[in-house]
Amino acid sequence: MKNKSCLHAGWLVDGTGRPVQKAVTIHLDGNIIQSIDPVQKTAPSQASFLLDLSEYTLLPRLVDCHVHLFMSGTANIAIRQRQLEAGYDELKPVISDHIARHIACGIGAVRDGGDGKGLAQRYQQECLELYGGAVGTDVPYPMNIRVKTAGKAWRQNGRYGKLIGRSPAPGQTLAAALCHEASLPGYIRPDHIKVVNSGINSLLSFGKETLPQFSLEELSQAVRKAEHRNLKVMVHANGRMPVQIAIEAGCHSIEHGFFMGAENLARMRDRQTIWVPTAYTMRAYAVNLAPSSREASTAQRNLAHQMDQLRIARELGVPVALGTDAGSLGVHHGISVREELRILLEAGFTIPEAVQCATKTGARLLELTDMGTLTPGMPAAWIAVSGSPSSLPDSLDHVILPATTATGFSE
């Protein structure tokens, strides 16, 4: 019975959205959860190892569904501009640092939203194993992490999105561009397709909407081509019409979704389209821009409106997955997951519901079947934070990670 072990947890938020469980014993066979029971006075006799986390809350490892690994969240404009211009060799250690920050914050998977040079995808190919396990002596990670990349995003020629992607050739449809690229020598298949279908949020004119970048017909054809290759499509879309087109085209997730309106939220509920709201970007703008500026004021209004949409989404039952847009101004890799969780809680999500957004729903979006919940039959991919769940999200400042050491965990 040497593979049998158990954990005592003061509280368990299992990722399913169900109520918090208090004082439980998690029985393991190897790394697989066999059962979860009320704490007993003594450990079962067949257990060879007992880890006492009775003063901690256990959560599944977190998922950030929207990051840009090539870019730092720094407000230093010179550094940001340099990172936009830099090549792979210069940014490789930057990406490594960002991934290490995610791991330190208890994040077990990230989905990259693209960069104009495909640097994150190259890093994935050269520095990470096929399924995202960290390798190499220059990447001293205490745990593995899943890194899903889009390579370069797609945008319409002359429209927003140049820093994260490229455009189809003149006269070429998006679907044709996808097929052509896949036929090129040396083509590397991405983990998903990223499409930009609107402009960026205005920080000067509250609620300003931009026209869609792609028509419903063109985007629908592209989604069918992607699905034929078993690839999901994530779509940057703000405003009513760009989001409506993305939903009706069958895109799998709406990224950002500012000012999309209740009708689109109902459409997403009906189709079970996942929303990745990235609301913290606006709070970060408001904090990092001049306090009395028009831009900071508009960012605050944008945030308030997005939180109203989150309240509606919760009431309707729209599936929401946590994503931070890490790399955006003031949105730092890793720690911003805490802040995005805070906004979900402020918008009325319960602690189990907010954790579900950051675990089960994110894992579902990334098609990770072996993480996202701490339930019988699943791997024990857990993190622990001090105190009860009521301390979240602040307790995420200090995350306890499982380790292969004799102590059973590391800080």
Nearest to 70 by CA among 328, 350, 252, 394: 328
Whether the Cβ atoms of residue 157 and residue 168 lie closer than 8 Å to each other: yes
Domains defined along the chain, listed by start: 4-60+373-410 (2.30.40.10), 62-365 (3.20.20.140)
Query: Can you give the pTM of this predicted structure?
Result: 0.94
Amino acid identity of residue 67, one-letter, is: V
Whether the Cβ atoms of residue 64 and residue 99 lie closer than 8 Å to each other: no
Nearest to 94 by CA among 355, 326, 367, 343: 326
Residue that is written with structure tokens 């455009």 in the block:
167
- In DSSP notation, 124-181 reads HHHHB-TTS-B-STT---SS--EEE--SSEE--TTSS-TTTEE-PPTT--HHHHHHHH
Residue that is written with structure tokens 């001293």 in the block:
140
What sections of 137-293 are H helices per DSSP?
Answer: 174-182, 216-228, 240-248, 262-271, 280-288
Whether the Cβ atoms of residue 193 and residue 178 lie closer than 8 Å to each other: yes
Amino acid identity of residue 270, one-letter, is: D
| Terminal-to-terminal C-alpha distance of the chain | 28
Whether the Cβ atoms of residue 126 and residue 91 lie closer than 8 Å to each other: no
Amino acid identity of residue 387, one-letter, is: G
What is the rounded distance in angstroms from the CA atom of residue 51 to the CA atom of residue 188? 43
Q: What share of the chain is helix, strand, coil (3-state, %, to 5)?
A: 35, 20, 45
* Angle in degrees, CA 76, 82, 87, rounded to 5: 145
Q: Which tokens go with 410?
A: 């590391």
Q: Between 294-316 and 280-288, two packed helices, what is the crossing angle to 10 degrees? A: 160
Nearest to 258 by CA among 285, 233, 272, 276: 276
What is the rounded distance in angstroms from the CA atom of residue 379 to the CA atom of residue 31? 6
Q: How far is CA 311 from CA 164, 169, 283, 341, in A?
A: 30, 41, 17, 14
Element (H, E) at 214: none
DSSP state of 402: E
Q: Between 336-346 and 351-358, two packed helices, what is the crossing angle to 10 degrees? A: 140
Kindly give the confidence (pLDDT) of every residue in the chain, 411 residues in length, as a single tens digit, with 9 standing for 90 and above: 457 899 999 999 999 999 999 999 999 999 999 999 998 755 555 556 689 999 999 999 999 999 999 999 999 999 999 999 999 999 999 999 999 999 999 999 999 999 999 999 999 999 875 334 443 333 333 458 999 999 999 999 999 999 999 999 999 999 999 999 999 999 999 999 999 999 999 999 999 999 999 999 999 999 999 999 999 999 999 999 999 999 999 999 999 999 999 999 999 999 999 999 999 999 999 999 999 999 999 999 999 999 999 999 999 999 999 999 999 999 999 999 999 999 999 999 999 999 999 999 999 999 999 999 999 999 999 999 999 999 999 999 999 998 643 334 444
Q: What's the alpha-carbon Rg for the chain, to the nearest Å?
A: 21
